Amino acid sequence: MLDQSRIDALRHSPVPPAGHLIDGQICAASDGQVMDVISPLDGTVLTTMARGTKQDADAAIAAARRAFDDGRWSELAPAQRRKVMLKWADLIEQNALELAVLGVRNNGTEIGMALKAEPLSAAGSIRYYAEAIDKMTGEIAPTAPDALGLVHREPVGVVAAIVPWNFPQMIGAWKLGPALAAGCTVVLKPAETASLALIRIAELAVEAGMPNGVLNVVTGEGAVVGEALATSMDVDVLVFTGSGPVGRRLLENAARSNLKRVYLELGGKSANIVFADALDLNEAAKVSAAGIFRNSGQVCVAGSRLLVERSIHDEFVELLAHHAKAMKVGDPLDPTTNAGAVNSLRQLEQNLGFVAEAHEQGRTIALGGKRILEDTGGYFMEPTIVTGVEPSDRIAQQEVFGPVLAVIPFDTEEEALRIANGTEFGLASAVWTANLSRAHKMVRRIKAGVVHVNTYGGSDITVPLGGVKQSGNGHDKSLHAFEKYLDLKTAWIKL
């Protein structure tokens, strides 16, 4: 049970100005410039943070390169790296409520979700990869008797990680955990609107005994700091979660510099497909509502396209609206809130623009569609259901990244597949059916990195997350995440 009095105390605690973490030291931007941090809860200035420069990014990269090249981390015994990372995970867990509240004040996620999905998830991910450190082994190749072929796994070097604002602690840990466990050093660039908790998590890594320079954080604008990381000749791997246009820019910059490897988790327009033979339509509606409206729809894998078999369309939309209306939207630091704030005014206006365009096209706004609680100064939006959507509509093709659901009817399994696969994205999806054969066929034929069956969301760290098509490449989560941060080296020995 969340302690409301403790949450309220943390809600009003002052937040000191945030700086970079470079080579183990908190520091200001090289030119002294700062950025206001606006809280989406009330639209006021929460604090300031360093507005990073190219010089700051270069300094962090240089620190990471020194730390990698001198072996202070990469050549540390696996058991020693494991010990540091486990202590780090423990410290995150011990400070979980403080980290969760700080994160909510910064990005607006409801506290009930934030505590579990942010610091506690981050601690769990770091612990998972720490435990794997001393279990990653090389290989002996099956060679002729006069030769010995060995395959070594070695850390790639300096990793630049750029993470988004929706779940910065969780997604940050998905990248930091395997990169650091592999022996790499890291420069982390958090989102402009959600940096505070990640800076604190990095400070806890230093407190846990991580050597200076192994984990660095530079805050600021993507066009400056992100660009510097992507064009650097001294970054070996760049990992990014965010939008498609930015992902393309990072790939271009990698090509123009040192051909660094770039791994991208980009947008989604995930299809949530409900067949008439679903086991429990009410349960499907309840889970589907949470799958699009929790965190105000600001979830990479959100089920933002609902495909419903025509024979149950009206009934299902009514059930869905019932559960959406029951969701409490408002103060994200109230534990009874089900959906918190939209991250920024810019994002809120984008959400409303999608709804207005759909209305102008003659689509039906079956629920919501408006900004609410405007008197708080915060950025809140009603759960919104748009029906009568055509598969080619912009609202069905482009990622809204807000609490906006596009509903599309279908008649046959083939039509559902055609609509589900009919976007440039391929991140997540779901199928609700009692037909086991249909479920397996849909899993095989849907072009997405994740296919849920009779649920939406809920997968843990043991399975990979990655997209196909323009939803990206590479995988976060699971042991497969190590593949991004380890090089294979062959030793061929004549006997």
Using CA atoms, how far apart are residues 108 and 343, in angstroms rounded to an integer? 6
State the helix-helix crossing angle for 436-445 and 413-420, rounded to 10 degrees.
30
3-state secondary structure of 417: helix
Q: CB of 474 within 8 A of CB of 453?
A: no
> Could you confirm whether 318 is annotated as catalytic?
no
Residue 187's nearest CA partner among 224, 225, 148 is 225
Q: CB of 116 within 8 A of CB of 26?
A: no
Question: How many other CB atoms are there within 10 angstroms of residue 243's CB atom?
Answer: 16
* R_g of the chain computed on alpha carbons: 23
User: E strand or H helix at 407, and its extent?
Assistant: strand 404-410
Of 265, 382, 399, 413, the catalytic one is 265
Q: Dig out the tokens for 148 from the structure.
A: 């010995």
Using CA atoms, how far apart are residues 102 and 7, in angstroms rounded to an integer? 10
DSSP state of 388: S
Using CA atoms, how far apart are residues 122 and 116, in angstroms rounded to an integer? 9
Question: How many other CB atoms are there within 10 angstroms of residue 23's CB atom?
Answer: 18
Q: What is the DSSP track for 268-315?
A: ---EEEE-TT-S-HHHHHHHHHHHHHGGGG--TT---EEEEEGGGHHH
Tell me the residue ranges of DSSP E strands in 142-291. 147-155, 158-162, 185-189, 215-217, 237-241, 261-265, 271-274
Using CA atoms, how far apart are residues 462 and 115, in angstroms rounded to an integer? 20
Q: CB of 192 within 8 A of CB of 163?
A: no
User: Is the Cα dihedral 105, 108, 113, 119 positive or negative?
Assistant: negative
Q: CB of 183 within 8 A of CB of 211?
A: no
In angstroms, what CA-CA distances link 323 with 282, 288, 319, 384?
A: 9, 9, 6, 12
Using CA atoms, how far apart are residues 331 and 341, in angstroms rounded to an integer? 7
User: Is the Cα dihedral 168, 169, 174, 177 positive or negative?
Assistant: positive
Residues annotated catalytic, as ranges: 265
